[in-house]
Amino acid sequence: MQGTVRLMQGNQACAHAAIAAGCTFFAGYPITPSSEIAEELARLLPRMGGKFIQMEDEIAAMAACIGASIGGHKVLTATSGPGFSLKQENLGFAVYTEIPCVVVNVMRGGPSTGLPTSPAQGDVMQARWGTHGDHPMVVLAPASVREIYDLTIQAFNLSELCRTPVILLYDEVIGHMREKTEVPDPSQFKIIDRKQSTSSPDAYLPYKSDEDDVPAFVRFGEGYRYHITGLAHDERGFPTQNPRVVEAKQRRLHRKVEQRREEIVAHEAFLLDDAEIAIFAYGVTARSARAAIRTARKEGIRVGLFRPISLWPFPDLELEKLAGQVKAIVVAEMNLGQLIYEVDRVVHGQTRIVAYQKASGEPVHPEEILTAVREHR
Amino acid sequence: MVIGESHLPLTTSHFWWSVIGRGSSDREVRGEIVGRHALGLSKVYASDKVAITVLEDWCKGCEICVEVCTKNCLAMNALGIVEVVDLEACNKCLLCDLLCPDFAICVE
Amino acid sequence: MFDYEQYFRREMMPHIWCKGCGNGVILKALLRAIHRLDLSKDQIAMVSGIGCSSRLTGYVDCNTLHTTHGRALAFATGLKLARPEVTVIVITGDGDGLAIGGNHLIHAARRNIDLTCLLFNNQIYGMTGGQVSPTTPEELFSTTSPYGNIEAHFDPCRLVEGAGGTFVARGTAFRTIPLEKLIAEGIQHKGFSFIEILSTCPEIHGRRNKLGTPAEMLQALAKTTLPTGVLRKTSAPEYTEVCEGIIARAQGRG
């Protein structure tokens, strides 16, 4: 069955996709430019029998989501820079206690209160490392309204599959723009649910995994009385300081994500097959890059776009292949250098890296990227 | 006074104890049994009227029970663990049982 | 003789609280209260924050959640919305619940969500070595008030009343039988129940301020001039039920 074509706003698409993915709980807090997600879900969730709550602050919103996920719901919260900073502690709690949840950060100018209604891409490193401690993180970056829809569903699926939080990271432009969107029919995508335990209550070990490194889940109130704590814990869920147990858990948490590279890592290659120059860009910047590429191609410059879709884990293997092929990679970001460090690490001197960095609150214009491309042809 | 070792059965109900022998002092009849309860080493002081069990492995020596006892039945021993020194005086007010923070003394 | 053993996680015992700590006494009252109500362990969830009292959740054999500092009520709100049929008890302390967690206390009370919040007030941050808390009396010494506490302390019951709490009570670790009844009543109350429980920290706070032996500190609780017992009991729409009402309305049924 085909999808339906609608004019949709990015944030609106996120809300609808969440419901399509099976989300039945949203806890959030108003913050520009993400409030539309909360508002849309405040309207839609009760119709579906789902629960919506506006909590007293961003920290409480993250906490309530985790509590509801422990109660068995698929949960979503949405915020922007200042709220994303507040959520970090509880985000780490969810990583460590392996509670699935999806967190949307619609990036705006920062730091601090910054530019509430202007785009930026300044939270990329924070999305990876914002919460303290050694931890993995899955971060997806859509660049269109349709892609917000698809990646919201993907975020829920990966979160359930890996029992880890997934961050959906896009900028204010993508969130607020309205585009003609073909909303997929449910038959066109699959839904993944968290692995349920098949053991008896007495034998259940909440943090013991099979070979897939993911422990089986049971929601509270089902007759399995277990302990969840943010303290370092053993397979029973009880606090421990045993060095072997602590390290084993850490390694399993990282493996859980790393071993699923196939399912998680994604990128888009646009006109890269014959490219001499590659542009590396994500989010709204990638859209400008595409426009720049079309113009450059008319000028005879063989340029293409490498667009990471998963920012973390970073598409290193894929980018490395490209490095040997091109004479320059123009990294365009709406920040003063964040993902470029990953590009640099992966490229490892194989080719020239050209930075185009903008932090004015304005999207990068295709002309600006084109200028950088022309200079290095 | 006979002190014996008894292996108490694992159970989720009351502290079980089995009397191995009764002894006597110049004061009154009291029995004293050392047993290994499922939770740890415990000592039961029993008479017809009352049995006081001290879970010695859990007693932290805070002396709350000794101080709140209305009849001076309890005292700390040389190891810093509570012991019953006057079982007959116990009036089962249960203050020691209720106020022990460590589940280490119970009265029945 | 009460069988506490049926409620605790044997492999986690004995607990880590210092000798003479009032928290253990309160735990026993809580277990007796649960027993009084004949609640099934499967249908109880306990949610705690960070601090000495918050360690309680590790010891009780039910669904337990040990969260981040000050946020237990927010986690519990999500859990209760997800599983309204589960009895959710929140365990917090004077630091966890009133300093960093104060905001969540206000809003849980305001929402009148059916949670029972037990705040163990030992007037200090014990777990971290004895720092001043919002309820430490003036003049007393702590590691962060080495010249004497210059801040006023406050009455959390009045805060909860002001926020709209429908069941507000105060008990002490010393008067343990009335406490047990208070806790049972709070759990039974449909709506947000708040019970401030005066506790003791003899090992750190008591020693530093020469407050007496563990027994003396417990006995001193009975001399509090603060009102004890049920301070307010009213009824108001309970949040999870109102939520169901909204769902019905959105679906055109209500």
Residue in this structure with the two tokens 């049924």, named with its chain if needed:
C253
Q: What is the pLDDT of residues A259-318, one digit of tens each?
A: 999 999 999 999 999 999 999 999 999 999 999 999 999 999 999 999 999 999 999 999
Nearest to C1 among B12, B64, B108 (CB): B108
Measured distance CA(B74)–CA(B81) in Å, rounded = 10
Over 90: is that where the pLDDT of A1 sits?
no
- The answer, for C28 touching chain A at a CB cutoff of 8 Å, is no
Is residue A194 very low, low, confident or very high in pLDDT (cuts 50, 70, 90)? very high
Least confident of A118-122, B35-39, C18-22: B35-39
Tell me: pLDDT of C116 over 70. Answer: yes
Distant-in-sequence, close-in-space partners of C248: CB < 8 Å, separation ≥ 6: C254
Residue B38 pLDDT > 90, yes or no? no
Q: What residues in B contact C6, CB-CB < 8 Å?
A: 12-13
pLDDT at C204 over 80: yes
Tell me which chain C residue has its CA closest to the CA of residue B65. C215
What SS3 class is residue C181? helix
pLDDT of residue B33: 58
3-class state of residue C5 by DSSP = helix
Tell me the C-alpha distance between A92 and A98, whole Å.
Answer: 9
Task: Quote the CA–CA distance of B57 and B53 in Å, as a whole number.
Answer: 12
Range C161-187 average pLDDT:
98
Alpha-carbon distance of C88 to A134, in angstroms, equals 32
- Portion of chain A with pLDDT greater than 90, in percent: 98
**C117 close to C85: Cβ distance less than 8 angstroms:** no
Q: Which among A104, A105, A101, A46 has a CA at the least distance from the CA of A73?
A: A101
Q: Which residues of B touch C20 (CB under 8 A)?
A: 60, 62-64, 101
Per-residue pLDDT at C115 exceeds 60: yes
The percent of residues in chain C predicted with pLDDT above 70, rounded, is 100
Using CB atoms within 10 Å of the CB of residue A141, give its burial: 0 to 12 exposed, 13 to 18 middle, 19+ buried. buried
| Nearest-by-Cβ selection for C22 from B98, B101, B103 | B101
Q: Which candidate in A44, A47, A52, A70 is best for mutational testing of the C interface (most C CBs within 10 A)? A: A70
Q: What distance in Å separates the CA atoms of residue A105 and residue C3, rounded to the nearest whole number?
A: 50
Mutate to test the interface with C, among A220, A224, A233, A240 (most CBs of C within 10 A): A220
Neighbouring chains of A at 3+ CB pairs under 8 Å are C
Of C25, C174, C213, the CB nearest to B67: C213
For position A21, what pLDDT does the model report? 98
Q: State the smallest CA–CA distance between residue C72 and chain A in angstroms.
A: 8
Please name the residues between 160 and 219 in chain C that touch chain A, using a CB distance below 8 Å: none
Per-residue pLDDT tens over the stretch B1-13: 223 333 333 333 3
SS3 C105: helix
Q: Compute the nearest-CA separation of A108 from chain C (Å).
A: 26
Q: What span, in angstroms and rounded, lies between the C-alpha atoms of A277 and A352?
A: 10
> Which H or E run includes C193?
strand C193-198
CB contact under 8 A, C1 and B63: no
Identify residue A55 by its one-letter amino acid code: M
The CATH class for the domain spanning A268-375 reads alpha beta
Q: For residue C60, what are the CA distances in angstroms to A226, A244, A259, C114?
A: 10, 26, 36, 20
Least CA distance to A60: which residue of chain C? C74
Nearest CA in chain B to C180: B98
Q: What is the pLDDT of residue B37?
A: 66
For A4-188, CATH gives: 3.40.50.970
**pLDDT for the residue numbered A2:** 82
pLDDT band with cut points at 50, 70 and 90 for residue C1: confident
Closest by CA to A342, choosing from A79, A141, A83, A104, is A141
Residue A162's pLDDT is what? 98
For the segment A70-95, the average pLDDT, to the nearest whole number, is 98
pTM value?
A: 0.94
Q: Does the distance separating the beta carbons of B100 and C176 come in below 8 Å?
A: no
Distance of CA A30 to the CA centre of its chain: 20
User: Given a cut of 80, is residue B35 above it in pLDDT?
Assistant: no
Q: Which of A349, C172, A136 is nearest to B98 (CA)?
A: C172
Helix/strand/coil for C137? coil
Judging contact as 3 or more Cβ pairs under 8 Å, the answer for C and A is: yes
User: What are the phi and psi torsion angles at A322 (to 5°)?
Assistant: -70, -35
Strand A138-140 with A165-171, pairing: parallel
Q: Do B99 and C218 touch (CB under 8 A)?
A: yes
**Tens digit of pLDDT for each residue in A47-57?**
999 999 999 99
What pairing do the DSSP bridges indicate for beta strands A328-333 and A277-280? parallel
Residue type, B31: G
pLDDT of A196 reads 97
Both structure tokens of A288? 């400008």
A241, β-bridge pairs? none
Q: Where are the beta strands (DSSP E) in chain A?
A: 4-9, 23-28, 51-54, 74-79, 101-109, 115-119, 138-140, 165-171, 178-183, 227-229, 267-270, 277-280, 303-308, 310-312, 328-333, 352-357
Residue B34 or C252, more confident: C252
Q: Are B77 and B65 in contact (CB under 8 A)?
A: no
pLDDT at A369 over 90: yes
The single residue listed with the structure tokens 């027994």 is C215
**pLDDT band, very low/low/confident/very high, at A234 (cuts 50, 70, 90):** very high
Mutation target vs C (from B16, B17, B37, B60; most C CBs, 10 A cutoff): B60
Residues in chain B closer than 8 A to C202 (CB atoms): 62
| B40 to chain C: closest CA residue | C14
Phi then psi dihedrals of residue C247, to 5 deg: -60, -45
Q: What contacts 24+ positions apart, CB below 8 Å, involve A125-129?
A: A125/A338, A126/A84, A126/A85, A126/A88, A127/A84, A127/A167, A127/A169, A127/A311, A127/A312, A128/A311, A128/A312
Residue A83 has pLDDT above 80, yes or no: yes
Classify burial at B2, counting beta carbons within 10 Å of its beta carbon; exposed 0-12, middle 13-18, buried 19 or more.
exposed
Decide: A308 and A267 in contact? Cβ < 8 Å.
yes
Q: Which domains does chain B have, with CATH numbers?
A: 5-107 (3.30.70.20)
Alpha carbons C217 and C219: distance in angstroms, whole number: 5
Q: Measured between CB atoms, which of B57, B102, B107 is closest to C24?
A: B102
- In chain C, what are the domains? 4-250 (3.40.50.970)
Q: Is B64 on the interface with C (CB under 8 A)?
A: yes
Distances (CA, A) of A372 to A237, A363, C101: 53, 15, 51
3-state secondary structure of A285: helix
Report the pLDDT value the prediction gives residue A377, as an integer from 0 to 100. Answer: 84
Report domain extents, chain A: 4-188, 268-375
Distance CA A176, CA A42 (A): 18
Q: Can you tell me the distance from the alpha carbon of C209 to that of C176, in angstroms, rounded to the nearest whole number? A: 25
Six-digit token string for C134:
């919002």
User: B18 pLDDT exceeds 60?
Assistant: no
DSSP bridge partners of C171: C197
- Contact, A331 vs A280, CB < 8 A? yes
Whether C76 contacts chain B with CB within 8 A: no
Is the model's pLDDT at B34 over the cut of 90?
no
Among candidates C6, C14, C25 on the partner chain, residue whose Cβ is nearest the Cβ of B99: C25
Select from C2, C14, C214 the Cβ nearest to the Cβ of B62.
C214
Determine, for residues B103 and C176 on separate chains, whether the beta-carbon distance falls below 8 Å.
no
| Average pLDDT value for residue range A200-229 | 96
Per the CB < 8 Å rule, is B101 touching C10?
A: no
d(CA C235, CA C162): 15
Q: What is the mean pLDDT of residues B17-36?
A: 39
User: Which residues from B are below 8 Å from C35, CB to CB?
Assistant: none
> Cβ(C88)–Cβ(C80) under 8 Å?
yes
- Strand, helix or coil for residue B70: coil
pLDDT at B25 over 80: no
CA–CA separation, C6 and C10 (whole Å):
9
Render pLDDT for A328-367 as a digit per residue (tens, 0 to 9). 999 999 999 999 999 999 999 999 999 999 999 999 999 9
Q: What is the pLDDT of residues C120-132, one digit of tens each?
A: 999 999 999 999 9
> Do A171 and A5 contact (CB within 8 A), yes or no?
no
pLDDT surpassing 60 at residue A43:
yes
| Interacting residues of A231 by C-beta distance below 8 A, sequence separation 6+ | A239, C66
